[in-house]
Structure 1
């Protein structure tokens, strides 16, 4: 497979405009395969704002209707909203056209199950089997599906109303928080400001036009939030929120313009929910120890899964967990939505600020403090067996986990080495109590690759 194209059980993604990338022909075939998997019925389609989205959308529509599916075209809509609506509108499935935090030349199809979640590995394999072996359904001319375009603002309204029923809307509104928002000109543009205004917030926006031309690097990590930090100070906001292009991840900037670190989005939400009701917490292998320590404070167990939203969700279902997620800013609160949801996270964060009558910087200081660094090694192939042998010599007293890549758990610190499923890179994550320890551990890990 080309480096410009990635096909897996999670869906299909690639660079637009490359012959060996994501071509219209491939999108048609993949759409037909998913339509066949859904066995006709209605498919909800939403997208982020990437300029290539329109081309991908129409190719997808051809594939879906050729398999006898009716398409409900929701236009630009945040990923968590599509996931919510597929379940609540009783759709046969959904497709989200987004490459999330990948560069602008990339696009992708994310497949949503009728239950309102992404496909499991086995379900994804079934779609791939149909795609690769051309087992797709081909209906007759009079059995082709139809396309119905719907008002996405009305759909978003129904989604917001569900969130408002599950939070203390009056309390948040009374606070009249000043909120700065940076939706990176993505799917959260306009919707995030509308949502915050309905929460009684005075809203100040940057990168809030749905152009798909990202106003900063698309991933909402600390190094990409300087613009928002300066904006927060300029408008004297109580808090700043940053989204990724499809608006399922949330990062926070405090009232002083300092990014909290994406790990603290989930940590704050877990702390808030567990303070009201005890529950086991499910997180992935790469999530901060801060969330684990918070759960332990409330006497709750923590279960870790492989990286990937669907893995966390299935773990939550198995352990009957009421809160969980991924440390990249992805909060899953099944009472409202069964996927990572930046809007739910914003509501929970504002409610905990309102209930405690504290600044966001003060709330963060009350949580366990950790330093985490995420980096990557760009190598086509990495021999994990060799790396594992070197790690055992380097950390003879470490506890090893092979759930997802290689994780070495040390005293109040850990390292994770994991080849990417979608890119020719190996990701390295290191966490410890202080920056000095993180730097020492990171340098040791990097030396193993060269």
Structure 2
């Protein structure tokens, strides 16, 4: 049904919006369930048991498979999980990170002559076909991978080493974003082993990293934290949220 009000389900392919897809997969014993957003430039999936596949791991699976076949460069964004980097490198590829957004992704693919690019949002670009995010084409890449193995998608995802990730957004007027990000750098950079400013501020230590970046589409600051230890992840993420909220209040 062509209806811009999306009567079937909300357009975002989130776990809570894909309950009917999960049920359908279990009902017909399907190998996988595929979902797209409203304009089908992004992809999401549930496994053969109807369980939502975390986007970072779906991206890692496909990026790693392409790296294994090509030994080429893979582009992803600064907010992608380290599982993407680890899986690509393990399969003989090279990861290059860029700013969040499919425009930056496409530009970097061209610049680096990369073989694939993807964001954890589900936006994937296949430069051997074209440079536009394409959900149905991404689905075909997944089908191709599954057609060449006897393993279910859950097993393939399960082979990827795990990290714990948290993401959140904090409302912030556009006019305050540059000041807040600069203050985050000034306050937190000296306490981290590695600092990058490709898009916002990425603060990394041996077992964890946190990205604080201004949203390019909403009046908010986005925070992504990843760690190998779940308790450390929650602690670090909450601490960063409190710092960012205080900075927004103070500079406002």
Q: TM-score range by the shorter chain?
A: 0.7 to 0.9
Does the CA-based 8 Å contact 1:237-1:255 persist in structure 2? Answer: yes
Q: Which residue of 1 aligns with 2:187?
A: 390
Q: Which residue of 2 aligns with 1:343?
A: 136
Tell me whether 1:210 sits opposite 2:210 in the alignment: no
- When residues 373 and 230 of structure 1 are mapped into structure 2, their CA distance, relative to the original with a 3 A threshold, is farther
Equivalenced residue count is: 240
User: Alpha-carbon deviation of 1:225?
Assistant: 3.0
Tell me whether 1:277 sits opposite 2:74 in the alignment: no
Unaligned runs of 5+ in 2: 247-252
What TM-score do you get using the length of structure 1 for normalisation? 0.51
Does the CA-based 8 Å contact 1:252-1:259 persist in structure 2? Answer: yes
Tell me whether 1:414 sits opposite 2:222 in the alignment: no
- Structure with greater helix share of residues: 2
Residues 33-72 of structure 1 correspond to what in structure 2 (within 5 A)? none
- When residues 229 and 373 of structure 1 are mapped into structure 2, their CA distance, relative to the original with a 3 A threshold, is farther
- C-alpha distance in 2, partners of 1:336/1:404? 28
Given the alignment, which residue of 268, 277, 300 partners 2:61?
268
- When residues 304 and 368 of structure 1 are mapped into structure 2, their CA distance, relative to the original with a 3 A threshold, is same
Given the alignment, which residue of 237, 242, 251 partners 2:30?
237
What TM-score do you get using the length of structure 2 for normalisation? 0.87
Q: Which residue of 1 aligns with 2:250?
A: none
- C-alpha distance in 2, partners of 1:216/1:436? 34
Highest CA radius of gyration, 1 or 2?
1
Q: Quick check: 381-390 or 319-328, which moved more?
A: 381-390
User: Alpha-carbon deviation of 1:419?
Assistant: 1.3
- When residues 437 and 258 of structure 1 are mapped into structure 2, their CA distance, relative to the original with a 3 A threshold, is farther
Tell me whether 1:246 sits opposite 2:43 in the alignment: no
- C-alpha distance in 1, partners of 2:146/2:225? 30
User: Alpha-carbon deviation of 1:305?
Assistant: 0.9
- C-alpha distance in 2, partners of 1:273/1:261? 19
Please tell me the root mean square deviation across aligned C-alpha atoms, in Å: 1.8
Does the CA-based 8 Å contact 1:220-1:262 persist in structure 2? Answer: no
Q: Secondary structure at the match of 1:317?
A: helix
- C-alpha distance in 2, partners of 1:433/1:221? 24
Does the CA-based 8 Å contact 1:332-1:338 persist in structure 2? Answer: yes
- C-alpha distance in 2, partners of 1:254/1:435? 24
User: Alpha-carbon deviation of 1:304?
Assistant: 0.9
Given the alignment, which residue of 200, 215, 232 partners 1:437?
232
User: Alpha-carbon deviation of 1:398?
Assistant: 3.1
Q: Deviations over 1:344-397 (max 9, x none)?
A: 21111111111111101011011232232221001223422222233236xx13
User: Alpha-carbon deviation of 1:434?
Assistant: 4.6
Does the CA-based 8 Å contact 1:238-1:255 persist in structure 2? Answer: yes
- C-alpha distance in 2, partners of 1:390/1:224? 39
User: Alpha-carbon deviation of 1:228?
Assistant: 2.5
- When residues 265 and 337 of structure 1 are mapped into structure 2, their CA distance, relative to the original with a 3 A threshold, is farther
- C-alpha distance in 1, partners of 2:232/2:156? 25
User: Alpha-carbon deviation of 1:447?
Assistant: 1.0
Residues 12-411 of structure 1 correspond to what in structure 2 (within 5 A)? 209-214=1-6, 215-380=8-173, 381-382=176-177, 383-392=180-189, 396-411=191-206
User: Alpha-carbon deviation of 1:235?
Assistant: 3.1
Q: Deviations over 1:317-340 (max 9, x none)?
A: 121111122121111111112122
- C-alpha distance in 2, partners of 1:392/1:417? 12
Does the CA-based 8 Å contact 1:415-1:429 persist in structure 2? Answer: yes
